[in-house]
Structure 1
Amino acid sequence: MRYKKSVTILSAVIMVLAIIAASTGAFSSGGPGTYEIESVRGEVVTVYGEGIYKHMSVDVAPQGIAQDYITLFVAVPLLLISLLWARKNSVRGRFLLAGTLGYFLVTYLFYLVMGMYNILFLIYTALLGISFFAFVQTLLSIDLSSLSERFRASTPVKWLGGFLIFNSMAIGMMWLGVVVPPLLDGSVIPVQVEHYTTLIVQGLDLGLLLPLSFVAGLLFMQKRPFGYLLAPVYYIFLSIMMAALTAKIIAMGMLGQSIMPAIVIIPLVSIIAIVGSVLILKNIAEPGHTHP
């Protein structure tokens, strides 16, 4: 009961703060419009110049707005649904809740460390901290010792785990394709850095999220207890994050930027992640139930 109360309160606060942050990002306006600046590295960068993201570049600000729409109209409702489901002592509900909280945790980690400073700084900070503690509590509420017994013997752990491994390697190679060539030709700094401090997304992906995807997939294929814990959570997180990434690509396309082949690959990965999430949840038995 203590778990339910604390996670319910934390999740409710996340929903309120996320609605404020995402609404502000999606609907704020005002500003000088686009203009050019010279970065400290001597590169010319076109700045978005409107709304809360007015100091972001024209390549990045529309992506943030697109993700705000996904947060507002997909992630927040899913957080409410998964919370209500988890409160009924549903193991599936707790997995869905953990994966959704993982999305908020990673999203506002990125917003906090990459977004140019704005009036939402303290809200981003609160969302990061509250999402972290709610996420950890939800993970710890799942009984690891008997978790493998809740999965059907026919659960396709090989291809489900294999996809997580493939996802980590494919995206990792894509990001290395951004980072490595400038190191080889002596220019060192990729053009994607623009006027930011560093490659935040690529760094956190390569250092944390992609290795986690690889490990979760490998342990799931090996039918290890932590694999049964991490893989479902990662699949749900990946489903929401890839939906946000799809929205970002569409936003870039609407601005006339080249989005091939990403407009084909990313939605495909999103669909696979969603199908995998549904398949995993369907193969989990709830307390008091046994598999046929």
Structure 2
Amino acid sequence: MFSDPLKPAYWLTIFIAGIATVACAGGIFSKDLYRDSEFIKTAWFGNDIVTLSIAIPLLLVALAFARKGSQRAQLVWMGLLGYMVYNYAFYLFGAAFNAFFLLYILLFSMSVYALAIGLFNLDVAGISQRFSSKTPVKALGIYLLLVSLPLGIFELSQCMRSIISGETPQIPSLIFALDLSVVVPTTALAAILLWRHQAWGYILGAMMLIKAFTYGMVLSFSTALLAGFRLSGTWDPLMPFYVFVALGGLAGSYVLLSHLKPVSHT
């Protein structure tokens, strides 16, 4: 039925972008959509702005170039689909039930399927062989470890403190669940595989760098909003880390992808 094995993922991505635009616009312009506390509502608001203004446009641009055969764009596309999976897991499982609940189900499930189809049909070996021997895999691997290890240590310590004290952690447990089960191990694995020049290291490395940039922007912007509206009491002490994640992810993505030799069509 599909001559191009990636075609189902292309169509799913278009639907994801369209539905995510509706979801973000609703979150930004409707005062009654979110039923959470004012603190959480502000965090959703910041998330919606970054997703609408950065993630969705980048996703559509990456898709357009990926369909033309750009392997760089394919990696950006996969990274942004990973962002969508992670992002809408929070809305689906973490937000109080609201009118967009079914949209969150669609966004999460379609993002999972699009990412799975994309990764399954990606030319992993071919792409990895096109990276220059001068690709700074060690520097990029160190950055990824500097993101994953402090995050893992901080969240594990928070979990252990709450378990020992018997108190409910201030941070929603869903954040611990997603970060410690998916983000931290995958980022660390990407660093190790990239350091060793393994094929999947380049793929996962690109994805986690792009995820670091996009979600680092979400965390930085939302933290600034919370402090500006005086809902957090004070600036989050992790703000420098969020900025480091965002800027490092952006710079790392550029450096890694710039060392991927384009496919010659001659």
Larger radius of gyration: 1
Cα deviation, residue 260, structure 1: 4.2
Distance 1:261 1:144 in 2: 39
| Counterpart position of 1:237 | 211
Aligned pair partner of 1:171 in 151, 154, 166: 151
Q: What are the superposed Cα offsets for residues 223-249 of structure 1, whole Å, 9 maximum, x if unpaired?
A: 111112211111112211111111111
Contact 2:145/2:187 (8 A) holds in 1: yes
Amino acid at match of 1:243: M
- Taking a change above 3 Å as real, the CA distance of residues 259 and 211 of structure 1, as seen in their structure-2 partners, is same
Contact 1:236/1:274 (8 A) holds in 2: yes
* Residue 24 in structure 1 maps to residue 38 in structure 2: no
- Taking a change above 3 Å as real, the CA distance of residues 191 and 77 of structure 1, as seen in their structure-2 partners, is closer
Aligned pair partner of 2:177 in 203, 215, 218: 203
Aligned pair partner of 1:76 in 56, 68, 82: 56
Cα deviation, residue 63, structure 1: 0.6
Matches within 5 A, 1:109-148: 109-148=89-128
| Counterpart position of 1:282 | 258
Cα deviation, residue 187, structure 1: 2.6
Amino acid at match of 2:239: I
SS in 1 for 2:26: helix
TM-score (norm 2): 0.93
Kindly report structure 1 stretches of 4+ aligned residues shifted beyond 4 Å.
none
Q: What are the superposed Cα offsets for residues 56-81 of structure 1, whole Å, 9 maximum, x if unpaired?
A: 12322211110000111111111110
Relative contact order (C-alpha < 8 Å, sep 6+): which is higher?
Answer: 2
Distance 2:228 2:34 in 1: 18
Cα deviation, residue 124, structure 1: 0.4
Deviates more, 1:73-82 or 1:133-142: 133-142
Distance 1:225 1:8 in 2: 24
- Taking a change above 3 Å as real, the CA distance of residues 27 and 154 of structure 1, as seen in their structure-2 partners, is same
| Counterpart position of 1:38 | none
Aligned pair partner of 1:52 in 19, 22, 33: 33
Cα deviation, residue 181, structure 1: 1.8
Distance 2:236 2:182 in 1: 27
| Counterpart position of 2:162 | 182
Contact 2:190/2:200 (8 A) holds in 1: yes
SS in 1 for 2:124: coil
Give aligned pairs, total: 262
Contact 1:217/1:231 (8 A) holds in 2: yes
Q: What are the superposed Cα offsets for residues 41-99 of structure 1, whole Å, 9 maximum, x if unpaired?
A: xxxxxxxxxx2112x12322211110000111111111110011101101001001111
Distance 1:148 1:160 in 2: 15
Contact 1:160/1:276 (8 A) holds in 2: yes
Distance 1:130 1:236 in 2: 19
Distance 2:175 2:121 in 1: 30
Distance 1:180 1:95 in 2: 36
Cα deviation, residue 188, structure 1: 3.5
TM-score (norm 1): 0.85
Aligned pair partner of 1:191 in 167, 170, 176: 170
Amino acid at match of 2:79: G
Cα deviation, residue 4, structure 1: 4.5
Distance 2:201 2:7 in 1: 28
SS in 2 for 1:230: helix
Q: What are the superposed Cα offsets for residues 243-278 of structure 1, whole Å, 9 maximum, x if unpaired?
A: 111111111111222124323221122101100000
Amino acid at match of 1:278: Y
| Counterpart position of 1:219 | 193
| Counterpart position of 1:94 | 74
Distance 2:94 2:256 in 1: 33
- Taking a change above 3 Å as real, the CA distance of residues 132 and 237 of structure 1, as seen in their structure-2 partners, is same
Cα deviation, residue 189, structure 1: 1.9
What CA RMSD, in Å, does the superposition of the two structures yield over aligned residues?
1.7
Contact 1:242/1:267 (8 A) holds in 2: yes
Contact 2:27/2:34 (8 A) holds in 1: yes
> Which has the larger helix fraction?
2
